[in-house]
Amino acid sequence: MRKGLERDLIKRLEDISGEKHVLTDEESLDKYSRDETMGLQAFPDVVVKVGSSGEVSKILRLAGEYSIPVTPRGLGTGLSGGCLPAQGGIVVSMERMNQVLDIDQENLMAVTEPAVITAELHRAVEEQGLFYPPDPASLESCSIGGNVAEGSGGPRAVRYGTTKDYVCGLEAVLPTGEVINTGNKVVKDVTGYNLTQLLTGSEGTLAILTRIILRLIPKPRMKVDLLAPFDDLSAAAKTVSALLQEKIVPTAIEFMDHPAIELAERYLKRKVVFDTASAHLLIELDGNRKEDFEKAMDVVEEVCKRFGAWDLLVAEPKDAQNRLWEARRCIFEAANRIGGLYETMDVVVPRSRIAELVRRAEAIGETFQLQPLCVGHAGDGNVHVLYFNGERMEKEKWSQEIKKATHSLYRCTLEMGGKITAEHGIGLTRKPYLSLDFSETQIDLLRGIKKVFDPRGILNPGKIFD
Ligand SMILES: Cc1cc2nc3c(=O)[nH]c(=O)nc-3n(C[C@H](O)[C@H](O)[C@H](O)COP(=O)(O)OP(=O)(O)OC[C@H]3O[C@@H](n4cnc5c(N)ncnc54)[C@H](O)[C@@H]3O)c2cc1C
């Protein structure tokens, strides 16, 4: 930004949101230049912590006038660089808009501002006997707005689906500054094209979301977590398909391989149960009727043992359940804090092909001398493959090898009928690979949609496609 322009723009932003909510100091710009994506950084020129949709609208109009990029940011836990201002400009941080506005018992709906922390919404609705199922592993630190913008998933997707299955309506500020309301507190709506679903998963490139209407369900009365250790990774993966064929649908089926178990132990500085296993399956069941619940537990035990699980730990008290989940949920944080250089993949294949995917991911790691770690939402076919620079290659060599490995893994995922990202989004990191899956015609359609929403190309430019 030019100096004179900068002063003028900052003054006008301060008039909109108040001086103390407009940040230009080095420390703040540094803080807002990152999310949780390893090794990625892009600096904004200015950060505005907005307090209302009216402010967002004025900022977008102003940005249009100056032709300056605007990047929306939730709570910065993204894993594809989506909230980083790739071309500088204004970061619009939603963090002050963090209120649950309404929990509507009669219509089973919640209305929230975008920066409500996902786990806080869980607690608020559960106090009233209701349930909001989507539960990204980052639930204590990410926002509902970020979840909607990314179309986030989470362990409970096996039984309950992902964020998009719960979004019924949105207040959204378009890049032109106009405010629209899509959907409403209704569970059925076929009025025109489904703009609610188009904006869900649009990664902050089509509009800034300022109010969200979410469907709720009654909270299941009972819940149990089961941990099954296996000596053989592929047997654990085959157990997942067998469980689903038994026509019981667990709430979650999570998978961790041995490197993941080891990393969790090092990070948490405590022993993880069954830590010599080659793989863990963490299975959660919930329900309302005791008989159905017990029957499902028997089926899970029988199937796990049939495929070689050498034990089954049953965790019923909340504390015991939290300890099991802590090990699974900490993996990305552990990788970021103590894992060294690594890259994360978020591939998904038809659930019956999980075992094959894990085998092929390991083989690719070996080919490129990378150390693989596999964790994931096995019940959805979604495996996070983390490739670490175990051989401590020079940075340049590492960046060449990881690109080749990523390319190979994505090719093999697509060959298996899968997709290159299940829940983390394209953002910046997967942009170079979109054309492996989408034809030029499909990418042109995306470009056309973007142009209709954002004719000047000011909202979150440089993401998903060029
Ligand atoms: C330890 C860890 C575990 C994770 N586990 C999971 C998981 O299980 N499942 C999963 O899906 N993801 C997971 N993630 C990724 C991440 O938490 C999700 O993508 C989350 O939804 C991001 O929310 P956020 O508020 O941090 O958004 P940000 O990172 O701030 O932004 C993400 C994207 O959303 C856009 N955005 C944010 N708010 C708005 C808004 N109000 N309007 C328009 N656009 C907006 C941004 O521009 C950006 O493109 C994990 C991340 C970490 C660090």
8 Å CB contact between 312 and 361: no
- Residues 6+ away with beta carbon under 8 Å from 373: 257, 259, 260, 263, 331, 335, 385, 386, 388
Give pLDDT, residue 114.
Answer: 98
Print burial letters for 198-228: b (CB count within 10 Å at least 16), e (below 16). Answer: ebbbbbbbbbbbbbbbbbbeebbeebbbbbb
The whole-number average pLDDT for the span 420-435 is 97
The Cα 429–Cα 82 span in angstroms is 9
Distance in Å, CA 293 to ligand 1 centroid: 33
Q: What is the Cα 328 distance to its own chain's centre?
A: 15
C-beta 175 within 6 A of ligand 1: no
In the chain, % of residues over pLDDT 90? 90
381: region left, alpha or beta (phi > 0 left; psi from -120 to 50 alpha): left
C-beta 346 within 6 A of ligand 1: no
The three-point CA angle 8-14-18 to 5° equals: 170
The Cα 56–Cα 64 span in angstroms is 12
Q: What is the Cα 135 distance to its own chain's centre?
A: 9
- The two tokens of residue 39 are 């090794």
Number of the ligand 1 atom closest to the C-alpha atom of 332: 1
C-beta 199 within 6 A of ligand 1: no
The whole-number average pLDDT for the span 177-185 is 98
The Cα 461–Cα 70 span in angstroms is 8
pLDDT digits (tens, 9 = 90+) for 264-306: 999 999 999 999 999 999 999 999 988 888 899 999 999 999 9
Q: Indicate the burial class of 411 (C-beta count within 10 angstroms; 0-12, 13-18, 19 or more).
A: middle
Nearest CA to ligand 1 atom 53: 77
Number of the ligand 1 atom closest to the C-alpha atom of 149: 34
- φ and ψ of 175, to 5 deg: -55, -20
Give pLDDT, residue 423.
Answer: 96
Residue with the bigger pLDDT between 1 and 231: it is 231
Q: What is the Cα 402 distance to its own chain's centre?
A: 22
Q: What is the pTM of this model?
A: 0.96
C-beta 95 within 6 A of ligand 1: no
Give pLDDT, residue 2.
Answer: 57
In 3-state terms, what secondary structure has residue 463?
coil
C-beta 376 within 6 A of ligand 1: no
- φ and ψ of 136, to 5 deg: -50, 150
Pocket test for ligand 1, best of 79, 330, 463 (most atoms within 8 A of CB): 79
Q: What is the Cα 206 distance to its own chain's centre?
A: 18
Q: Which residue, 74, 51, 63, is CA-closest to 10?
A: 63
pLDDT digits (tens, 9 = 90+) for 10-49: 999 999 999 999 999 999 999 999 999 988 999 999 999 9
Nearest CA to ligand 1 atom 9: 136
Pairing of strands 279-287, 222-230: antiparallel
In 3-state terms, what secondary structure has residue 376?
strand
* Integer CA distances (angstroms), 107 to 75, 140, 187, 253, in order: 29, 26, 9, 30
In 3-state terms, what secondary structure has residue 270?
coil
Print burial letters for 64-103: b (CB count within 10 Å at least 16), e (below 16). Answer: bebebbbbbbbbbbbbbbbbbbbbbbbbbbbbebbebeeb
pLDDT band at 317 (very low <50, low <70, confident <90, very high): confident
